[in-house]
Structure formats: C-alpha cells, structure tokens
Amino acid sequence: MNILTTPHMERCIGGYSFDQKLDDENAASVVSFLVSDGRERVALTSMVSRLCARGVCKPDIPGECLTTLGYTAVADNMAAIAGNIQQKCWRARRATGFQPEQVAFPKRFHGVTTWKGQTDRGYMETLTRQYAQHLVAIAGRTAKTDPEGAA
C-alpha cells in the first residue's frame, strides 16, 4: 500500500505516482517529475509527523482520514503496518552498514545543561545501549517472534 511509506521507497512510490498521473517517456521530464513528487511527499510526511509529535494532530486523525477515503483496513491496522515499515527501515539501515550499538554521543554533549539539569553521562550511555538493543531486535523481528505479527 503506497499510503504509508518511507523515503527509502521513493523511486518505487514516485514511479507508481508517475504511472498513475502521466504518460511521458522522456527521461528528463520523468526525472523532473520524480524529484518534484518526492520533494512534495517528503514535505507532507515531515509536516504530518511533526504535527502529530507536537500534539497538534492527534494520532487517530490519520486513521480517520484513511477511513473517510475508504481505506478502513489500513486505518484499522496502522500499528501493525507501522511496525512493518519500522522493521524494514531498520533492516535496510543495518544492511547498509549502520550499527546502532556503535553510536555514541559526542563528548561536548555531556557538558550540556537543559531545563532538566546537567546531562547524566551514565544515564545517557544506558539509554543509548538499551535503545540500540531494541533497534537491532526490531530489525531482526519475524512473525514468529513478534506476537503482533508486524514483521
């Protein structure tokens, strides 16, 4: 389903969009369309995710929109679909060499004071290690190991 996607699939989705909208075999104009379409999709994806993250757009709103458009099955399964997308993104990152377990905060970060106070190096290292473990687990998740079947 092309409604929920990731930038990693831009050429595939852009190609689908092109196929549905235009009938042109000029490579330069197709490339121009793909770049423009991708830019618009990235802007919308970014805007919606930021609005939801800030609480302006509640998480149930996209589901309501999908239902209104007739995508009830997608709306009813958004958590599983999102888990599947998340897994594919992390698998792709791992397959291309990213290793979250090797990420470390720069030393200068530990000198930062926020509204919560001085950054706690031990806490941040624990948090980073546990988060990396979860990301690796998400990438390796399968239908057999995930009771939600989101693989």
User: Which residue intervals of the chain are DSSP H helices?
Assistant: 10-21, 27-53, 60-68, 72-76, 78-95, 121-140
Angle between helices 10-21 and 27-53 (to 10 degrees): 120
Q: Is residue 1 within 8 Å of residue 81, measured between CB atoms?
A: yes
Span 58-79, pLDDT tens digits: 878 889 999 999 999 999 998 8
Q: Which of 73-77, 107-111, 145-149 has the highest mean pLDDT?
A: 73-77
Instruction: Supply the pTM of this predicted model.
Output: 0.64
- The pLDDT of residue 7 is 46
Give the SS3 label for residue 28: helix
Shortest CA distance to 132 belongs to which of 92, 107, 99?
99
